[in-house]
Structure 1
Amino acid sequence: MSALRTAIIAGQGRLPAALAAAMEEAPLVAALDGFTPDGLTVDLRFRVERLVPFLRALERDGIGQVIFAGAVTRPRLDPALLDEATAGLLPRLMAAMAQGDDATLRVVIELFEEFGFTVVGVEHIAPALLPPAGVLAGTVTPRDEADAARAAGIVAALGAVDVGQAAVVAQGLCLGVEALPGTDALLAQVAGITTLRPDPARGRGLFYKAAKPGQDRRIDLPTLGPETLRGAAAAGLGGVAFQAGSVICLDLPEMQRLAADLGLFLWSRE
């Protein structure tokens, strides 16, 4: 068995399966209790309260490197399930959680590394999931370029305080920003805005997504998929833009096809 056998620490959604498909050797799939990835069989389930026994189980299975993939929410901890070794780590984890998601994820990476695991990112396993710069569908106008620049500034400000990774802008006006409910909720919110939005004849606006400034690229990179395009169309937007090389696109060919069908542009912005 290879000393660098890989484990996917999986959450919900399609990303874990996309990563598994890109690997030459079948990975071990471990999932946090209550979160199941789409299209993958879970080999090992774990709870945060039993983190140290889980890490030791990975060691016994010959795991050398891990990659985190998929959506999770903060689990509710049951003190009755804590083992002694994990209990010793709990103050460190709780202090990080109080500082926000980025701080929590940094501590999680540190703990895995302290047990000797190499933590890798999507670009290490499946770089094709992170499109380089270019217009991937449709046409981007000067108005769209201006809206994207405005949205990028907003998203950078949000990310600096660990709030979200996306915004919707039309003719320079911010129609909404991403927070804990996520992308789908943001686009649904924008779809409900009628009286406050500018005349669409002058530019329908766009959805923009980017990584947080300075975030660790090995974990929690933003993700887009075909459902994002459907949500943007339902919200009356003109297209979807994202930060080139820093946003995961699930099923890019389908996203390009759908953008063309829906009359949207799809732009990987430098």
Structure 2
Amino acid sequence: MTVPAPARLAIIAGSGGLPAALVASLAERPLICAPEGFAPAGLDVDQTFRVERLALFLHWLEDQGVTEVAFAGAVQRPRLDPSLFDPATATMVPRLLAAMGQGDDATLREVLAIFEEAGFALRGVADLAPALVPGPGVYAGGVTAQDETDAARAAAIVQALGAVDVGQGCVVAGGLCLAVEALPGTDAMLGFVAQIPASLRPARGLFYKAPKPAQDRRIDLPTLGVQTLRHAAAAGLGGVVWQAGGVICLDLPAMQQEADALGLTLWAR
């Protein structure tokens, strides 16, 4: 009887701390690969690749015995150089461009499809390291009746935004939406909220984060960390709330300690 070879995992790593947090949660070190220009923090990269040479990179993964792939970290849309396309990758360009025209979620789904068609099994962060995706609970502070109302309002807003592939977060205070997350990202949104005059906004309020309704949760789950809490506090907010089981917390103990120091509520709703 032939014994199947053990699965070998490769992480397609973007920038930020998530790839390192994921690797630290695994029993064995995977192969670390990164798109050019998006090196992960705190990790040595085994292979850098360009999107224009994606087909060649997929063949390289196969040659290394890779059978499973996980995506972790932040990657912005690359500027493609047509002169660098190899013939096989060039055939993928029309489908990628069509997906990019529909939004980030559609683009990521197409990328996943290309990797699956190449024979790789896709693993999500929640599957590989469930401790990074906390379940329901109040992890710091307390939840007020106004928090419950604001969180319900925020969840409805994020669901509506996600349905048209816009964003994964918003800020609500006293039932009013102060800002929504778009292409510039979470930090830019919280920076905008910090500049809203106190006369135009209710006190306290919260930042809410959740995946898009139809999102493939094997890629691009929302991520929170200590720095997010600091930005939320600087914006005058009283809490950070997220959809339980749908958001990555890079270091929950450190987030709890920081939330206590800042007087913030942490709630996986």
Residue 27 (structure 2) pairs with residue 24 (structure 1): yes
Counting only pairs closer than 5 Å after superposition, residues 1-270 of structure 1 correspond to structure 2 as 2-200=5-203, 204-269=204-269
TM-score by length of 2: 0.97
Distance between the aligned counterparts of 1:5 and 1:25, measured in 2?
10
How far does residue 198 in structure 1 lie from its aligned partner after superposition?
A: 3.2
Q: Which runs of 5+ in 1 are unaligned?
A: none
Q: Is the 8 A contact 1:165 1:212 kept in 2?
A: yes
1:254 aligns to what SS in structure 2? helix
Distance between the aligned counterparts of 1:199 and 1:54, measured in 2?
51
1:35 aligns to what SS in structure 2? coil
How far does residue 23 in structure 1 lie from its aligned partner after superposition?
A: 1.4
Distance between the aligned counterparts of 1:218 and 1:197, measured in 2?
39
Across the aligned residues of Structure 1 and Structure 2, the Cα RMSD in angstroms comes to: 1.1
How far does residue 197 in structure 1 lie from its aligned partner after superposition?
A: 3.2
How far does residue 199 in structure 1 lie from its aligned partner after superposition?
A: 4.0
> Identity across aligned pairs (percent)?
66
Once the two structures are superposed, what CA deviation does each residue of 1:123-181 show, in whole Å capped at 9, x if it has no partner?
Answer: 11100001110100001100010000000000001100001000000000100000011
1:63 aligns to what SS in structure 2? coil
Runs of 4+ with deviation above 3 angstroms: 195-199
1:158 aligns to what SS in structure 2? helix
Aligned residue type for 1:173: L
Equivalent residues, number? 266
Distance between the aligned counterparts of 1:261 and 1:89, measured in 2?
49
2:92 aligns to what SS in structure 1? helix
2:101 aligns to what SS in structure 1? helix
How far does residue 28 in structure 1 lie from its aligned partner after superposition?
A: 0.4
Distance between the aligned counterparts of 1:144 and 1:31, measured in 2?
39
Distance between the aligned counterparts of 1:120 and 1:266, measured in 2?
27
Once the two structures are superposed, what CA deviation does each residue of 1:242-266 show, in whole Å capped at 9, x if it has no partner?
Answer: 0000000011001000100001100
Return closer, same or farther for 1:67/1:149 CA change in 2, 3 Å cut-off: same
Q: Which runs of 5+ in 2 are unaligned?
A: none
Distance between the aligned counterparts of 1:152 and 1:250, measured in 2?
22
Once the two structures are superposed, what CA deviation does each residue of 1:183-242 show, in whole Å capped at 9, x if it has no partner?
Answer: 100110000001553342xxx100000010021010010000001110111000111000
Aligned residue type for 1:133: P
TM-score by length of 1: 0.97
Return closer, same or farther for 1:164/1:90 CA change in 2, 3 Å cut-off: same
Distance between the aligned counterparts of 1:2 and 1:225, measured in 2?
37
Return closer, same or farther for 1:140/1:100 CA change in 2, 3 Å cut-off: same
2:19 aligns to what SS in structure 1? helix
